[in-house]
Homo-oligomer: A and B are copies of this chain.
Amino acid sequence: MRIGIIGLGLIGGSIALDLKDQLGVEVLGYDKSDKHKQLAKELNLVHELLTEDELIDKSDVIICAVPVHVLEEKIIELLDKSREDQIILDTGSTKREICEIVKDHKNRSRFVAAHPLAGTENSGPLAAHQGLFRGKKNIICDIQASDPKAVAVCKKIFKSLGMDTYELNSEDHDKHLAYVSHLSHVSSFMLGLTVLDLEKDEKQIAQLASTGFASTVRLAKSSPETWGAIFDKNSKYLAEALEQYIQYLNEFLKIIKSNNKEASIKLMREANEVRRILDGIIK
């Protein structure tokens, strides 16, 4: 099977590295950035680097791992050019808009809208590594719109990366992801910004920051371009989540200012419930 990957950054590059190990799989690659192409070559991410047209022509499955702000246009283009036996797969972090846009495309059934839930705060081909997806979950959205055979092939590909696949409708996907992923990123980015702003003496951050701060602020190292596009695509649900977050922070600020220790403990006890849910899920 020939699998062509468009976009050889953290996600596309890591998929490529894992798929290269699969028996009978030939991994073709393309990236529109010359720098990424050069790195992909040096890092030996794929079996063969091609032009985009060559890749489209030669691939049985095309995995489109481009940033979400250019994804829709690219998927439409791929569907337009696709042959009947080709499968097109994306890996984007938002799913509502892409599923809406391709809804009435005559070749819609060749497309599988996927979101492998994995990543790090790093990006680009240099961040790609084997095993990124192992033990993580994959989501396929609006699965009924895809050809069952295409879905089966995609599930098999994700299984080979070490992922189980779950189904969600694209609207629910974006809503839930706003809560459990996009909001954490905003919380972390703004925490980083706040501390950089308040703490004029950078040496003190370096000196006093413990692993707790490092863990909470880790996502603030993420790519602004990647996340700017994701937040833009999911602005409705993210804004809703962010409003709720700010409301809780304001409530807590009021409690802190009035030195109402009992009230602060009560709220933190409720927050502790997150332990019950996370323990046993996240290693």
Contacts and interface: CB of A to CB of B under 8 A. Distances in A.
A146 interface: no
Interface in A213-240: 213-222, 224-225, 227-229, 231-232, 235, 238-240
Contact of A198 (B117, B218, B231, B241): B241
Interface in A172-215: 176-177, 179-181, 183-199, 202, 204-215
A265 interface: yes
Main secondary structure of the interface of A (DSSP, over half): helix
Contacts of A117: 208, 210
Contacts of A221: 272, 274-275, 278
Contacts of A240: 198
Contact of A272 (B204, B220, B232, B242): B220
Contacts of A185: 212
A216 to B, nearest CB: 4
A: contact size bracket: 35 or more
Interface stretch (A10-18, A154-162, A244-252): A244-252
Given A204-B180, A259-B235, A219 B212 contact: yes
A70 interface: no
A130 interface: no
Contacts of A202: 277
A216 B216 contact: yes
Given A228-B264, A235-B256, A250-B246, A216 B271 contact: no
A119 interface: yes
Contacts of A268: 189, 220, 222, 224, 227-228
B249 A217 contact: no
Contacts of A194: 179, 183, 241, 244-245, 248
Interface in A82-121: 117-119, 121
Nearest to A205: B277
Interface of A: 69, 117-119, 121, 136-137, 139, 166, 176-177, 179-181, 183-199, 202, 204-222, 224-225, 227-229, 231-232, 235, 238-246, 248-250, 252-253, 256-257, 259, 261-262, 264-275, 277-278, 281-282
9 contacts: A117-B210, A180-B195, A180-B210, A183-B195, A184-B213, A184-B217, A192-B271, A193-B270, A205-B278
